[in-house]
Amino acid sequence: MLVKKLNKLVGLKKYEFDEFVKDGQIHLSQARLIPTYKVGDELTLTSIFLSTLRLVKEFRNTIFSEAKLPKGGKVYYYTEASFKDIDSTSRIDGLLIIVIGGVIKDAAFFEMKNKNNQLEEAQIKKYVELAKKLRVSKIITVSNQFVAHSSHSPIDIRVPKSISLHHFSWVYINTIGQLLLFKNESNIEDEDQVELMKEVLSYFEHKVSGVTGYNQMKKGWVDVVESINSHKKLLMSDKSVEEAVVSWHEEERDMSLILSRELGMLVKNNYPKSKLKGRLKEDIKELVSKQILKSSLVVKRAVSNIDIVSNFNTRTISMSVNLIPPMDKGTKARIGWVIRQTENCRKKHDELFHNSSKELWIEANIKYSPNDVILRYNDINDLYDLVINKEIIGFKIIYIRDLGKKFSSSRKFVEVIEKMLIDYYKCYVQNLKNWTRPVPKIVEE
């Protein structure tokens, strides 16, 4: 029986940890793939999630990499962890410890929420204090709430530099699992683990699990739309403005995950990680000054990034990609080339093209000119007359939709923009190609 008191986890020898468990200073349960908790309970989700980390190598590597957890050593997974002599009122949903050379080198707390349950600031603050006392370096939260990046949190609290706070939405976790089932460079190698991942996802995606997707913008979105429509001045300090921007970031994340599942590869935003912390303030400033919000999605090997703009004044959504025309030919040939590109889209998806062509615009980027030429696709033949004696160095294929009243509807906005993205990608993005300069050839004498 131990006589000393528990005062740390990280740095503790594993056999000492086991003695503290036997002594009752640490209470916990082993994470099980088939737990005995009630179906739909948050502890059921915790147990299944942690067990999947233990059993599926590629899933574990992906989550560990994002949460900055070391991949080496022996990992142990627990649920319902409590430390009665340090904090008798807190029970951690999940605990993970990493043992190297018989010593606990790293550890993480997990707090799980499902359904409409929100993370609570007071609860996470208590976990931070507990983590400080036990030298635990990471707190990972999982809920149906969305964030722009896993290094962000849905709650605004200060944490010491020694502790990192990460957040995953359940939709993101499901997306990671689904991407691992595709035949690509990161798929699951072991066939048994593939079947296990399928079963876990089947539970996570069932309504009884309490896992839901992003389905509506925050109230601040609606308030900002109404304020702009009423010509009221927006202030950077307005809570509704911040809520509107946060909603946009969350919807951006959801769009990237939806497209990821359709393509079988992870789609990310084009914002550098180094600038993510300042993005909220920058976007608030742009919304107040210009009444617009922007996003850019990165798809590997696509013709370009997909730029998305939400315009509050016109209540429109625009999606666009950039095209590089043949630079070894004249302006007239370049116009003919972009017409053939769009006609190829028509051949591949005639119905989608027909439904969107009235909202399709072509922008010609003019060399040495600050003013580009933009016109409806149906008027593309007029472009010849508009660019006489000018050189086109690029094109934009722009899909602009007027949402009208749907722009101010928290649910309809989400439905429209997500369907619009899939249709735009399917009809245009995946069928467009940039011109590439021909390979130089040896000149025969």
Encode the chain (445 residues) as per-residue pLDDT tens digits. 444 789 999 999 999 999 999 999 999 999 999 999 988 899 999 999 999 999 999 999 999 999 999 988 999 999 999 998 888 888 999 999 999 999 999 999 999 999 999 999 999 999 999 999 999 999 999 999 998 889 889 998 999 999 999 999 999 999 999 999 987 666 898 999 999 999 999 999 999 999 988 999 999 999 999 999 999 999 999 999 999 999 999 999 999 999 999 999 999 998 887 677 789 999 999 999 999 999 999 999 999 999 999 999 999 999 999 999 999 999 999 999 999 999 999 999 999 999 999 999 999 999 999 889 999 999 999 999 999 889 999 999 999 999 999 999 999 999 999 999 999 999 999 999 999 988 888 988 7
Token pair 């703009």 is found at 309
Q: How far apart are CA 329 and CA 406, in angstroms?
A: 44
Quick one: 406 exposed, middle or buried, by C-beta within 10 A (0-12, 13-18, 19+)?
A: middle
In one-letter notation, the amino acid at residue 267 is V
Residues of each domain in the chain carrying CATH 3.30.930: 222-431
CATH number at 222-431: 3.30.930
Q: How far apart are CA 368 and CA 394, in angstroms?
A: 12
Phi/psi-derived region of residue 43, left when phi > 0, alpha when psi is between -120 and 50, beta in every other case: alpha
Answer whether 201's CB lies under 8 Å from 174's CB: yes
Residue 108: beta bridge partners?
96, 138
* End-to-end Cα, the chain, rounded Å: 92
| 365-to-102, 281, 323 alpha-carbon distances in Å | 63, 30, 10
Report helix angle 239-263 to 170-179, nearest 10: 20
Closest C-alpha among 322, 325, 321 to residue 340? 325
Residue 109: beta bridge partners?
95, 139
Rounded to 10 degrees, the C-alpha dihedral 40/45/46/47 comes to 100
Residue 120 has a pLDDT of: 95
